[in-house]
Amino acid sequence: MPYEIYSLIILLATILFSFSVHEMAHAWVANRLGDPTAKTEGRISLNPLAHWDPIGTTLLVVLIILRTLGLSVPVFGWGKPVPINPRHFKDFKKHLLLSSLAGPISNLLIAIIFAMLIRFLIPSSSIFFEIILQIVFINVSLAVFNLIPMPPLDGAEILRSILPDATYEKIEANSYFFIFAVIALIMFFPQILSSIISAIVNIIV
């Protein structure tokens, strides 16, 4: 099997695992904080199909394939949003913040674990070095992109948890314009997001 195909298979398997961990982390933390909604819908699972978003996840996989083929494209995407019922949270703002942060933090932890392999076990001359470096890059990308304050990303829920309700409602009322602006920024100025991601990768690697 050619190295490129082997690398692509590993990366796709990694991305499916990584975004499944991301969404499962949201569901697990929400359940621990008193909201069993996601649990009852089977979201505390590592099965990628339980978290597959027709747009966000498909886009993520396609971009990974294009990047593996040598195209310089930004890597971003998202899983199916985890359902939250605020009536089950004792402290809605605090618990929404914690459950929203769980996904990005889980990806950063995966990135750090693989970065430790590069630091201490796998030399740069190894054929696995570039693959593991891509795994780190993908997980940092997932964490950073999902922190953008744009629905349906985690950043929007984080913003909701820290802003007064009236302020957030005003922002939400203009969410379509904001979504268009963020997507345009990513598509036409991908170096901004890439620079942030690369800086974090360099720190942990």
Active site residues: 23
Span between the terminal Cα atoms of the chain, in Å: 29
What distance in Å separates the CA atoms of residue 17 and residue 46, rounded to the nearest whole number? Answer: 7
> Token pair of 167, please?
């302020």
> Token pair of 18, please?
């990584």
The number of angstroms, rounded, from the C-alpha of 173 to the middle of its chain's C-alpha atoms is 25
* Contact between residue 44 and residue 99 where contact means Cβ atoms under 8 Å apart: no
Of 28, 71, 14, 72, give the one whose Cα is nearest residue 193.
72
DSSP state of 42: T
CB burial of residue 39 (10 Å; 0-12, 13-18, 19+): middle
Alpha helical stretches, state H, 33-91: 37-40, 56-68
What would you measure as the largest C-alpha separation in the chain, in angstroms? 57
